[in-house]
Amino acid sequence: MSSRVRDLDDSAPQTSLVLPRMLAAGAAAGAAGLGYAWCEARWFALRHVTVPVLPEGAPDLRVLHLSDLHLTPYQQRKREWIESLRALEPDLVVNTGDNLAHHLSVDPLLDAFGPLAEVPGVFVLGSNDYFSPTPRNPLRYLSPGGRRYTKSKALPWQYLVDRLSDAGWTELTNRHAELTVKGVRIAFAGVDDPHLEYDDLRAVSGPADRDADLRVAVTHAPYLRVLDQFARDGYDVTFAGHTHGGQLCLPVKGALVTNCDLEPARAKGLHRHPAASAPGDPGSSWLHVSAGAGTSPYAVARFCCRPEATLVRLTRKPHR
Ligand SMILES: [Fe+2]
């Protein structure tokens, strides 16, 4: 009897410590995860992709795809990384928007681009070029469909457009354009940000120029209505950003959300659109989604999704 009572008394303090220890371990793991995610958001990467879209006889083109820089004037490390991209000597730059995260970012951005802005380039704007970021719960990023923030202070988007245009890049806001790069005639179409429903598809719909050597479409957010339209109209490849690659991803599984109606499996990288189509299928095209290089300054965290730029090598289509 006395032994049994002693046993029960001995176990009581151990049981009472289990929950606090579990909570402490959980808090430590959470803090470590947040610390890692904060570091990963500064661990910039260059991804390489090859897209076979050029006609016989055309030279390969090196396209630097930039997106979602979300630059603030005090992000010196990011500015230096952007400057380092000049060494890639691309033939063409495609910028799919969300450049800004501060009303004083335009000049530092152009300084960081430097000679890159003198390379032939095209661009569209994203919601974060129009409106200042605001504090928010970063876990809201994981809510399906995302949110639209249009009540915050306006950013100097027109000054951004003017600076990029003056430098020589071509704006593709709900319009067509044409550039010849290394002798390759490229027909472009672009839309204003579909996430804000600023896209005017009627302004750019219609068959893509079949006489051009290449047809390229550009959008900030890869909403399906936009991708469907460009694929139907015969664009060979669409460039997009916005998704941040899911930003907070799971190992192996990858992205959980895209902040639009694109499915998470295509949150970043090179895919077909429609997803199940193959090269040569009527009404299908390539889709390249950049995971982007930044985050909101109020949610500086990435997990299993490094910030990136992509060097896209456009090469000849295979013989049939
Ligand atoms: Fe973004």
Q: Nearest Cα to 241, choosing from 293, 305, 289?
A: 289
Q: Are 293 and 42 in contact (CB under 8 A)?
A: no
Residue 273: what pLDDT?
98
The half-sphere exposure of 264 on its side-chain side, counting CA atoms within 13 A, is 17
Distance 295 CA to ligand 1 centre (A): 6
CA of 110 to the centre of ligand 1 (A): 18
Q: What pLDDT does residue 177 have?
A: 98
108-123 residues labelled b (16+ CB within 10 A) or e (exposed): bbbebbeebbebbbbb
DSSP 131-184: B------GGGGGSTT-----SSPBP-HHHHHHHHHHHTPEE-TTEEEEEEETTE
Residue 218 Cα to ligand 1 midpoint, Å, equals: 15
The whole-angstrom separation of Cα 306 and Cα 179 is 31
Q: Are 84 and 228 in contact (CB under 8 A)?
A: no
3-class secondary structure, 21? helix
Q: What is the pLDDT of residue 145?
A: 57
Task: List the pLDDT tens digit at each of the 320 positions of the chain.
Answer: 444 444 444 545 566 788 888 888 777 777 778 888 888 898 999 999 999 999 999 999 999 999 999 999 999 999 999 999 999 999 999 999 999 999 999 999 999 999 999 999 999 999 999 999 988 765 666 665 556 667 789 999 999 999 999 999 999 999 999 999 999 999 999 999 999 999 999 999 999 999 999 999 999 999 999 999 999 999 999 999 999 999 999 999 999 999 999 999 999 999 999 999 999 899 999 999 999 999 999 989 999 999 999 999 999 998 76
What is the structure's pLDDT at 227?
98
Give the per-residue pLDDT at 137: 66
Identify the pLDDT of residue 138: 59
Calculate how far, in angstroms, residue 244's C-alpha sits from the geometric centre of ligand 1: 6
What's the residue count for the chain?
A: 320
Say how many Å lie between the CA of residue 59 and the centre of ligand 1.
Answer: 32
Show Cβ contacts of residue 68 under 8 Å, excluding neighbours closer than 6 positions.
96, 97, 98, 126, 128, 241, 242, 244, 290, 291, 292, 293, 294
Q: For residue 3, what pLDDT is reported? A: 47
The CA 289 to ligand 1 mean position distance, Å, reads 12
Query: Which pLDDT value is given to residue 8?
Result: 44
As a whole number of angstroms, the distance between CA 29 and CA 234 comes to 49
- Cβ neighbourhood burial of 80 (10 Å; 0-12, 13-18, 19+): exposed
**What is the Å distance from ligand 1's center to 6 Cα?**
62
Cα–Cα distances (Å) from 299 to 71, 237, 247, 282, in that order, read 13, 31, 10, 41
Question: How far does residue 5's CA lie from ligand 1's centre (Å)?
Answer: 63
Q: How far is the CA of 18 from the centre of ligand 1 (A)?
A: 42
Q: Ligand 1 centre from 128 Cα, in Å?
A: 7
Angstrom distance (rounded) from CA 223 to CA 1: 73
**Residue 68: which of 264, 267, 262, 290 has the closest Cα?**
290
